[in-house]
Amino acid sequence: MAKYIFITGGVVSSLGKGVAAASCGALLQSHGYKVHARKLDPYLNIDPGTMSPFQHGEVYVTDDGYETDLDLGYYERFLGIKLSRNDSVSGGRIYWDVLSAERRGDYLGKTVQMIPHVSDKIKEYITRPVDADFVICEIGGTVGDIEGKIFLESIRQLANDIGRRNVMFIHLTLAPYLEKSGELKTKPTQMSARNLLENGIQADMLIVRTPRELEEEERKKIGMFCNLPSENIISGIDVDNIYKIPMAYKVQNVFDIIANHFGLKKTDGDMHRFHKIEKYLSDKLPTVKIGMVGKYFDVPDAYKSLNEALFHAGIQNNVHINIKKIDSEKFSEDAVRDVDAILVPGGFGTRGIDGKIAAAKYARENKIPYMGICLGMQVAVIEFMRNVMGVKNADSSEFTDDCTPVIYIMSDHDAADMGGTLRLGSYPCVIKSGTLAEKVYSADLINERHRHRYEMDMNLESQIAKHGMIISGKSPDGKLPEIIELKDHPFFMAGQFHPEFQSSPYNGHPFFNAFVAAALKK
């Protein structure tokens, strides 16, 4: 039976529970244990798919086509595992399941209540079988949130159901530093741990976010008020890169604390993957500047996986990455004159479209390495149709009906039955021989994750090929274009998919690795 580690948070949101969970998992992996990860979000949305990136950050997509919280990206990247729809569960999904069951009569006329029906459904999701020694499960939100109480009650029950030594509770808190008085305040941490205890959960370890290492007296004080030995109080100090956190936890004996709780053997872990990253970060290396032309820059996490994928590619190319954020609504050619490459990411809606089209045009005309992702591929096609092939009103039916639609919803043309919904998840792509795509992937068949509604018109294939743009990747049935590229260009390639969702700090992703290599060459 798998053992469970629950990560909760208090005081304020955005303390880094996802990275903490992934880092604890990485420590366990370094000692030879199989790790799985799950995220429970108390909010009432069924999933994050309809949430604006301006509010919630990016929507992460799993292989099986489920729209999830961005923390699943941390888990997949850190742990090198693939997660599914069973690993991201919201309060809305739980209540939907329970109420749907009630309508079907599954409860046989019983009064449906928060306990046991909702709590049992939450535990059912948590304990779905996986091939792992440990399941690390993050509870979203903060202790004290009204919508999160039933989730805390459920994990309290689970610890009682399967035995307290099969469950560990790790709680993230905050110890703010008051500059005027020169004091580090531990009271918020004390109150948060007490709030957790009021929900029936005694924390087994505290990770305290602080601007500096906690002193021994501070750890003793926190431990005394929170019913913990001082060695179980961990300093969650700020670092300049999240991949340094597993090493910071190792130095503070986090694995030993976990081992003591579960009765594991204490062995030396293999942390070579993180040593390699730390060396890369400290080395003096050349830098390439990537101009990212997007529109969600007001939210730091809106392009989280994309930023990570560029960083990973930097590791593989032994070069540091400088991302220049360029607002597509205010785009001008002056903004990209000093960059080594241009990347146009995905997005929805008409905001900033003209700027993205202009960015693709500048990259094409000036032989600047170009990478287009999802919408970034579509704007490249629109630009090519307008300025190379002379179809001045070429556009997407997403943006206007008064156009020659080179991009449209496939179901409208009976090419695929999308049902008016997004194409989500992993789909195969056959790569054309002798193309840049084949050189990039070193394969003739790949699988990439999608999240889009509109597709390029395949009827354009022969027309654009005559002018130098080829479709170098298609769905196996030949109906859906997946990759386009330009023949006479050092690197101009775009995909209808989101390769950033499969990038890893340990290997990077072929598309990003090749793009950064082209930027370095430039």
C-beta of residue 458 within 8 angstroms of C-beta of residue 415: yes
Q: Which of these is catalytic: 226, 374, 398, 450?
A: 374
Rounded distance between C-alpha atoms, residue 295 and residue 228, angstroms: 46
Do residues 263 and 165 lie in contact, with contact meaning Cβ atoms separated by under 8 Å? yes
Does residue 58 carry a catalytic annotation?
A: no
Which of 475, 440, 450, 443 is closest to 461 using CA atoms?
A: 475
Query: What are the phi and psi torsion angles at 285 (to 5°)?
Result: -130, 160
Q: Which two tokens stand for residue 244?
A: 């340094």
Cα–Cα dist 255/450, whole Å: 37
Distance between CA 383 and CA 391 in Å, rounded?
9
> What is the pairing mode between strands 341-344 and 370-373?
parallel
Contact, 416 vs 480, CB < 8 A?
A: yes
Question: Which strand (E) or helix (H) includes residue 170?
Answer: strand 167-174
Per-residue buried b or exposed e for 218-243, using 16+ beta carbons within 10 Å of the residue's own CB: bbebbbeebebeeebbbbbbeeeebb
User: What is the distance of C-alpha 297 from the center of its chain?
Assistant: 16
Q: How far apart are CA 319 and CA 169, in angstroms?
A: 39
List 398, 485, 500, 509, catalytic entry: 500
Q: What's the token pair of residue 153?
A: 């009650």
C-beta of residue 468 within 8 angstroms of C-beta of residue 462: no
429 is catalytic: no
| CA neighbor of 154 nearest in space, from 133, 142, 137, 173 | 137
Q: Which amino acid is at 363?
A: A
* Residue 498 annotated in active site: yes
Per-residue CA distances from 331 to 291, 298, 302, 362, 367 (Å): 11, 16, 19, 11, 18
Active site residues: 374, 498, 500
